[in-house]
Structure 1
Amino acid sequence: LLSKAMGDEKTKQWLEYNLSLIPKTIEQSRAYVAARGAKILSYSITIDGYDSMSSVMCTQDEVDPGTEKARKELEERLVKRKAEKKETEERLEKQRAEKQEQEERQYNLKIDGKDVTDLTGKMVELLGTSTSIGVMENGVSTFDVLA
């Protein structure tokens, strides 16, 4: 291309124009890369002809202090959420245990009566239920009667 530009005025003007754009292009690339927190290590431009131009840029990213701060904040939030989740699970487990304990409570009632029918009537009256009362053993209701 260079030897052709020496003999052809149009090619010479084209090449000079494109070469004059290179410093501005490199400066724009440097600004773009710096805005991302990186730097240019190398920049290569190849011009093979009117229809063949290419550039290769090698950059090195540097850790942005803002990124490090954001990472630490995220880790702190995750630790906090984990602690909150653990507290919630412990509270729910405690509630489940209390509920189960309430369901497993046994009540001792003392009811005086003349016979089983009288005792059953008094228990229904006291408990407000018409269901079977007592422990069922072989289909028979049993009562502990204290004298």
Structure 2
Amino acid sequence: MGASGWDYAVPYQEDLVGAFEGLRRKVFAERDYYWGPGGDYLPEEERLPWPETEEELWGHELVQHDGTHSILDIFRIIGSDEEPDYGTVKQVTEEEALRVLGTRRLTREHVPRFEEFDHWRWYGRCAVLHDEQGEPREIYFWGYSGD
């Protein structure tokens, strides 16, 4: 199947970890992820029902191998001084935004250029997006995951 790109925007809040965890809960609850064992490619009688918990989701061998092609493949936010690792998300710093895109205050208009930031499979990024007055309005998460 190959990796899939994914992206989400949530209302801004100072608690980045809280925003991340809330997004993961929402994606799981809304079934906005790839669930291979219940896929349309299987005969209906072989499809498994959607999992009730993330533990059940990650307990399936196919998901452990292929992932969910969503933010659910990301498990924690790392600090600006940490190296990217499997299942992590790293926030774009003001310094990185200035170096890559020429501004410290990212907006919705910058999103199409976010591919210019460092990125790898099974790793996500996030950035605070600002309005025209420079006020933070959203947190934008994006990445690539799945096999």
Larger radius of gyration: 1
Q: Structure 2 length normalisation: TM-score?
A: 0.20
Q: Structure 1 length normalisation: TM-score?
A: 0.20
Whichever structure has more helix as a proportion of its residues is 1
User: Which has the higher relative contact order, 1 or 2, with Cα contacts under 8 A spaced 6 or more apart?
Assistant: 2
